[in-house]
Chain A
Amino acid sequence: MNRIALQVQQNPPEVEIVCNLLRRDGGHEKLVAFIDTGAKVSLLPLYLMDVIDVHQPADVVLQQGGIGALTIEAVQATVNIAFEDSSGNVTPFREARVWFADTEVALIGFENILDQSVLHIDMPARDGWLQID
């Protein structure tokens, strides 16, 4: 399994990873995303649908519960995604089901990614990694 270093910040607490997404022009788009262990499915900004290679798009309505409950309209689709870090570690591309929504922030969640990974976050040491095939 490939181990990808994460960017860990304490204040505010944030964990980031560098992604590569397969573009429509055949190249790769680099994207900085936040690791979100509260996200069932990864969330990507809608603008990326005009840039990257997207398969099987379908409209969905997402119900977010809890405080500040919200209903969000999104597009569910499959994309090809890989990860890399500054030490030259890279993963192969993998298919992942994601939601595209009207936001500028990218979140990496469980489905097809975190649910197949070992995630290590050491906040005091500001260190972390994602181990994934």
Chain B
Amino acid sequence: MSQIRMSYQPGETPENFFPDYEWIKQNKASLLEKYGEASILVYRQRVVGFGRSYFDAIENAETTTRDQGDIITPVHYHLTRHPYHIGHVRRKSVRE
């Protein structure tokens, strides 16, 4: 069973982090086309999880990597077309 790890020790950056982040940047248009505005988790240049939210993406990644038997240190990235548009903030009460 694989283990998704999102917490790192001080000064620790997994070797895949910046290469995977660069891969996301290079493939952002096609990722947006495939997944829409969604949270994705990328590990070694592969989307291992996605969903509407960070936690949905982690849950999905736990399923897709279940038999991998490794510790997975994915990059979380939220795909969005308009990051600077205030409309991406939903208005609802945050303390319901």
Interface size for B (C-beta < 8 A) is 37
Across the interface, B76 reaches (CB within 8 A) one of A30, A70, A102, namely A30
With contacts A43-B89, A59-B95 known, is A27 near B21, CB below 8 A? no
Q: How far is the CA of A103 from the CA of B88 in the complex (A)?
A: 6
Q: Are A90 and B11 in contact (CB under 8 A)?
A: yes
Q: How far is the CA of A118 from the CA of B17 in the complex (A)?
A: 26
Q: How far is the CA of A71 from the CA of B86 in the complex (A)?
A: 10
Q: Are A70 and B80 in contact (CB under 8 A)?
A: no
Q: How far is the CA of A45 from the CA of B82 in the complex (A)?
A: 15
Would you call A4 an interface residue if the criterion is a C-beta within 8 Å of the partner chain's C-beta atoms?
no
Q: Are A12 and B81 in contact (CB under 8 A)?
A: yes
Would you call B34 an interface residue if the criterion is a C-beta within 8 Å of the partner chain's C-beta atoms?
no
Would you call A2 an interface residue if the criterion is a C-beta within 8 Å of the partner chain's C-beta atoms?
no
Q: Are A86 and B95 in contact (CB under 8 A)?
A: no
Q: List the B residue with the shortest CB-CB distance to A13.
A: B84
Q: Are A71 and B7 in contact (CB under 8 A)?
A: no
Q: Are B54 and A45 in contact (CB under 8 A)?
A: yes
Within 8 A of A (CB), among B16-47: 17-18, 21-22, 25, 37, 39
Contacts of B39 in A (CB 8 A): 104
Q: Are A73 and B94 in contact (CB under 8 A)?
A: yes
Contacts of B82 in A (CB 8 A): 12
Interface flags, A43-65, vs B, CB<8A=1, else 0: 10111000100000001000010
Would you call A124 an interface residue if the criterion is a C-beta within 8 Å of the partner chain's C-beta atoms?
no
Q: Are A30 and B88 in contact (CB under 8 A)?
A: no
Q: How far is the CA of A31 from the CA of B12 in the complex (A)?
A: 14
Within 8 A of A (CB), among B38-83: 39, 53-55, 75-78, 80-83
- What residues of chain B have their CB less than 8 Å away from a CB belonging to chain A? 6-13, 17-18, 21-22, 25, 37, 39, 53-55, 75-78, 80-84, 86-95
- What residues of chain A have their CB less than 8 Å away from a CB belonging to chain B? 7, 9, 12, 14, 18, 20, 23, 25, 27-32, 34, 36, 38, 43, 45-47, 51, 59, 64, 68, 70-75, 84, 86, 90, 100-105, 107
